Amino acid sequence: MKQLAMAALVGLVVFSPEAAAQAQAADDEAHVRALMAQLETLKASYAQEVRRLRELDMQVQAMQARLNGRTATAAPAAAAPPPPATAPAYGEGYASSASEARAAKESARRSVDDVKQQQSALFNRRLTLENSLTYARYDRKQLTLNGFLALDAIFLGNIAIENVESDSLTYDFAARWGVDPKLTLNLDVPYIARKTIYQKGGAGGSAAAVAQEETHGAGIGDVTASANYRLFQEGRRRPETVLTLGVTAPTGREPYGLDWTVIERDDDDFIRFAVPAEQPTGNGLWQASIGLSAVKTADPAILFGNIGYVRSFKRSFDDIDSNPDTVNPGQVQLGDAYYFGAGVAFAFNERTSLSISFSDKLSARASTRYKGGQWVKVIGSDANAGTLNLGVTYALTPKATLVSMLGIGLTPDAPDFTLAFKVPYML
């Protein structure tokens, strides 16, 4: 009996209400810690999924913008958190709302717009002002033989080496006005400064003597007015296709009827070496052009190409003779010209793209006709100017872009190299 009483007493002590409460509290605390650990795990997983959703949202919208060639209205992501108080800076952050998604898509298509701006025009801009500066270097040497070949082996006469070195700097101001989503009007006004050095061997009858003369010229060049019309908007399989029509006015100083500086004459008063007193800044003729350009995005590459035709109209001048001692009025008509080119650009990010392209211009022979005479083809006036172009485009601000271009001449008729910088500002 005593043992049973002691057991009952111990049971009452162990299973008293206070002991049971303490045991329950300990169990609840352990359960809360487990729930908190599980909550933290779920929060971390949720944050990771949100980041993945934002990244996928930006990628999908950027690809849609490049494929469609335009900005589409983006719906807010269902799993995205509420938008922050301020939008992310230009080119930074993730899209977590409809407004940020549209901003991200605009940034992603910036490289595509820059390529289109250089190839044809942007039709979603009301006004674009472009300032450009281009330097071109031209150097050509040729051997001049004035005499005859005796016994098929001995040359009798004068042998001279002629060298022409030309440096030109062109500033061009262009204004492009978007009339509607399919039509853009353009005006290009160049200002040209040119320096040319003429060298000729055999001065004074001595093969070792070299005569040299330097001439300059500066002024407004030939002004061009043109219009771009979008035939087709870019789709999944077809490129954006633009038709361009242009007219060039002879506002620059023509190369005909210039004053000449005689450097050397023979004993019989024959002019051995003469150079123009001033360099021309235009070709002196009205010209009309028609061209077709295409741009197609193939992420991450942007493909582009163009082809065109230039027609020159004949014009009369008071003097078309290159002899400084004579004046012969007549007409001049430059040969028709055909140009084409193609290239590819790679968008590294929303601000920077690199392009490589090839361009070529084929010009037929020019014709002249003295007053009362017949049309005569000018031998050596035809040309084939092929150029390899390397360019880098960088978006300075959402409205301004810096375009740098290096052109390397591949044929004797092309400049040795050209270096151009353009800054289009889109309003």
State the pLDDT at residue 58.
75
Residue-by-residue DSSP string for 336-375 = PEEEEEEEEEEESSSSEEEEEEEEEEEEPPPEEEETTS--
Assigned token pair, 384: 């084939």
Assigned token pair, 354: 């690199």
- Is the omega angle on the peptide bond into residue 181 within 30 degrees of 0, that is, cis? no
State the pLDDT at residue 140.
79
Q: Tell me the sheet residues that pair with 417.
A: 137, 408
Residue pair 331/313 in contact by the 8 Å Cβ criterion: no
Q: Tell me which residue has tokens 């303490």.
A: 22
Spans of the chain below 50 pLDDT: 8-10, 12-15, 70-97, 100-101, 104, 107-108, 145-153, 155-158
State the pLDDT at residue 65.
66
Cα separation, 190 vs 32, whole angstroms: 78
CB-based contacts of 394, cutoff 8 Å, min separation 6: 351, 352, 401, 402
Cα separation, 260 vs 186, whole angstroms: 37
State the pLDDT at residue 380.
81
Residue pair 284/315 in contact by the 8 Å Cβ criterion: yes
Residue-by-residue DSSP string for 72-88 = PPPPPPTTPPPPPSSPP
Assigned token pair, 229: 């019309």
Instruction: Measure the CA angle with vertex 381, ends 284 and 140; round to 5°.
Output: 100
Cα separation, 253 vs 317, whole angstroms: 12
Cα separation, 267 vs 302, whole angstroms: 64
Residue 114 falls in which region: left (phi positive, over 0), alpha (psi -120 to 50) or beta = alpha
Query: What element of type H or E holds 224?
Result: strand 223-232
Residue-by-residue DSSP string for 168-179 = EEEEEEEEEEEE
Answer whether 0.75 is exceeded by the pTM. Answer: no
Query: What element of type H or E holds 424?
Result: strand 417-426
- The three-state secondary structure class of 150 is strand
Q: Tell me which residue has tokens 């992310």.
A: 88
Cα separation, 307 vs 185, whole angstroms: 19
